[in-house]
A and B are shown apart, each in its own frame.
Chain A
């Protein structure tokens, strides 16, 4: 089956440094795929590259994105505008900042349909209702400042999905929200993915969120994919030392109170200081001379489970 979204060998440059290098993955209709990593690993830039909304300073010099088999890199900006919102859309980390403070909720949701609110009013009301906004007839004419953060994110989701796109990019959609609201928004995304068959790329730094909602995961480190596979398989047995350390860093209910939380020593190198070989070698307990000299490529270590580690089999 053709995946709803496929990213091939994406490389993004800032100045001369490859901040995203060789990133590729595919998402099936109705599937939630999590792109997970620390801040600065390139996951958000990857999301913007998929939408072709990269900041001026970032240049894509390799790779392409295919939407339902159609290569988007051959499209003009004008054609790309017909893709955005209609076939593929995006929601953002801070819903209140992602809504224009001076436009009503309804006007912004209607933009996703391409028609003015006067004509799209019924559709907008139905969509607000579908994303779980109580009393949509009142909310539709309110301004973002009159809504809570969680409600603003529901409005964003409504504006992103009203034209029934096949793909939704969700860039840290719950990071700025309270934990209880977080769970509601994740449930909503999950439900919409199933009901509408929307493929969702969920960008997050939170392994807890991944465990909650994602069918599959791609773990990114320093602009590359370290490991990818089914969520269950990766949580059961990570095949990359970075993933293993991330999972070990999750606090557990069985932790002794007041004990130290596990941390990964060191920090992500800056793009200008990326080492040759494996970019994680500087922080990796398994690193040896080969890791520092040769870049490990993604290879299949179990069915559908890929790891970019020379020592994948040794990871515990």
Chain B
């Protein structure tokens, strides 16, 4: 068990280092960052002066080492557009995205997983057909469109919810549902497949032969066995929620890091973009680590592995 955790931690550390490195070189590959920053019509001398001031005239290897050193002190640099430390800009937006991602995840879990279980247990009936229509909708409606539809219906026509912005918990509802819809569909489909597969196994018949009802057999045996593939997609979907937040936050004027990413790209504020990319990657790695640890909590066979 200790070795299992140690190995997963080492893998996470290696992945982190690779991400940091790749982000640095990809950003530099896209051209001279100085050119992104200067106003149109700047003279060659002005560009050279800025390049020197920002250190972009140093050899790449020197820049890379400097970048690693800065990161080691959690120094993400100064935003050239907002004239403020990058970490402060990102940190001020982070709680909003956390709240949105959490809302979307909760919505997706509490609707998607029960829907998947119901589709498997009552397969071939009306329940399954109704739920698969819902899943198909969640999976196929693009968020920029469903978001606007929700705003028109629940905000403009019915006045149930605020149309946009971040004004208390009510304004979190629509963006969470819109952002969580795709994850809901993914959870429902994965849960359905996984539960269906487990329902066909001998241990289910054996449990029923001991006098358990179908429901009791599902709750006591099937769900835990079906959980492993679902846990995997849940972790992957959280990463996708952060990616999806870019569009949803823009549609709903939600001041999170998705909206910040969009604004920073348009403003060519590349250190902020770089910080967001790094942050989202770190979240991905942390989630993968959490998934591996969750497996061992669920499955004694993994716990037993050295």
Contacts and interface: CB of A to CB of B under 8 A. Distances in A.
Interface of A: 48, 51, 53, 78, 81-86, 89-94, 97-103, 108, 111-112, 114, 143, 145-146, 156, 159-160, 163
A112 B206 CA distance: 10
A288 to B, nearest CB: 43
B304 to A, nearest CB: 7
B202 A92 contact: yes
A132 B141 CA distance: 60
Interface residues of B, number: 21
Contacts of A98: 202-203, 205-206
B221 interface: yes
Interface in B200-236: 201-203, 205-213, 220-221, 224-225
A145 B210 CA distance: 21
Most buried by A among B202, B207, B209, B213: B209
B206 A51 contact: no
A229 B14 CA distance: 71
Contacts of B203: 97-101
Contacts of B201: 97
B209 A84 contact: yes
A92 B225 contact: no
Given A85-B210, A112-B211, A145 B224 contact: no
B299 interface: yes
A273 B198 CA distance: 33
A102 B225 contact: yes
- The A contact surface, by secondary structure, is mixed
- The B contact surface, by secondary structure, is helix
Contacts of B304: 145-146
Contact of B209 (A85, A100, A101): A85
Contact of A111 (B212, B225, B298): B212
Contact of A100 (B211, B225, B298, B301): B225
A99 B204 CA distance: 8
Given A85-B210, A100-B221, A145 B202 contact: no
A102 B300 contact: yes
B91 to A, nearest CB: 41
Contact of A99 (B206, B212, B299): B206
7 contacts: A53-B208, A53-B209, A97-B203, A98-B203, A99-B203, A112-B211, A160-B210
A85 B224 CA distance: 23
Contacts of A112: 210-211
Contact of A114 (B207, B208, B211, B220): B211
Interface in B253-306: 298-301, 304
Contacts of B207: 100, 108, 111
B205 A53 contact: yes
Interface of B: 201-203, 205-213, 220-221, 224-225, 298-301, 304
Nearest to A102: B224
Nearest to A81: B211
A162 to B, nearest CB: 9
Given A94-B202, A99-B206, A100-B225, A84 B220 contact: no
Contacts of B212: 81, 85, 111
B173 to A, nearest CB: 36
B221 A103 contact: yes
A103 B221 CA distance: 7
B4 to A, nearest CB: 16
A84 B225 contact: no
A90 B298 contact: no
Contacts of A84: 208-211
A159 B202 CA distance: 14
Given A92-B202, A103-B221, A143 B300 contact: yes
Nearest to B206: A98
A156 B205 CA distance: 12
Contacts of A82: 211
Nearest to A146: B304
Given A94-B202, A98-B202, A102-B225, A145 B301 contact: yes
A29 B304 CA distance: 43
Most buried by B among A84, A93, A159: A84
A219 B157 CA distance: 74
A90 B206 contact: yes
Most buried by B among A91, A94, A98, A114: A98
Contacts of A108: 207, 210
Contacts of A101: 203, 225, 299-301
Contacts of B224: 100, 102-103
Contact of A89 (B209, B220, B221, B225): B209
A56 to B, nearest CB: 8
Given A84-B208, A108-B207, 5 more contacts: A92-B206, A97-B201, A97-B203, A101-B299, A103-B221
Nearest to A77: B213
A51 B209 CA distance: 7
Contacts of A159: 206, 210
A82 B211 CA distance: 6
A160 B221 contact: no
A101 to B, nearest CB: 7
A207 to B, nearest CB: 25
Nearest to B210: A85
B277 to A, nearest CB: 38
Contacts of B210: 84-85, 89, 108, 111-112, 159-160
